[in-house]
Amino acid sequence: MDERFNFRPARAADVAAVVSLLHDDELGRHRERPGDPAYDTAFAEIASDPNQLLVVAELDGEIVGTLQLSFIAGLSHVGTKRAQLEAVRVGSEYRGLGIGGRMCEWAISVARERGAGQVQLTSDSGRTAAHRFYERLGFSATHVGMKLSLD
């Protein structure tokens, strides 16, 4: 499927399609509100930050997946730059085709090119299939991911 497949930075016109992917998810369907203008505001902020890369995966020109890659400079580990994966999603009708793996492998190669020494992510404790997926990509579940909502 190589020639049918493409990764590229998301554009403002892709926001609705990306939000649709975030909503098309067992957890996302309860916490996303497609059509809310807050998504466009957030997109503008992502697009203006050179350390944020919001990506869409296209199959035959249709958006079928998304992820965000954030670059975080830091002093620890002898000044290692981290690349962080967030919001990795593949449309429900396109799962099981290897799109998520291809998308993450591409993101890891971008992280390496941009000088990151580590890629990190957190995954909800209930997403056990996702944990196995990331372990197959080489990730180790060495940390606890903790969240505090400010709402």
Interface residues toward its own copies, by CB under 8 A: 15, 18-19, 22, 28, 31-33, 36, 38-39, 41-43, 45-46, 49, 51-52, 54, 68, 70, 72-82, 84, 86-87, 108, 111-112, 116-125, 131, 134-135, 137-151
Q: Are 52 and 70 in contact (CB under 8 A)?
A: yes
| Whole-angstrom distance, CA of residue 48 vs CA of residue 70 | 13
Task: Provide, rounded to whole angstroms, the least separation between the CB of residue 69 and its own copies.
Answer: 11
Tokens representing 62 are: 């249709």
Which CB, 5 or 14, lies closer to its own copies? 14
Burial 99-128 (b: 16+ CB within 10 A, else e): bbebbbebbbebbeeeebeebbbebeeeee
* Minimum CB distance to its own copies, residue 63 (Å): 13
The least CB distance from residue 55 to its own copies, in Å, is 12
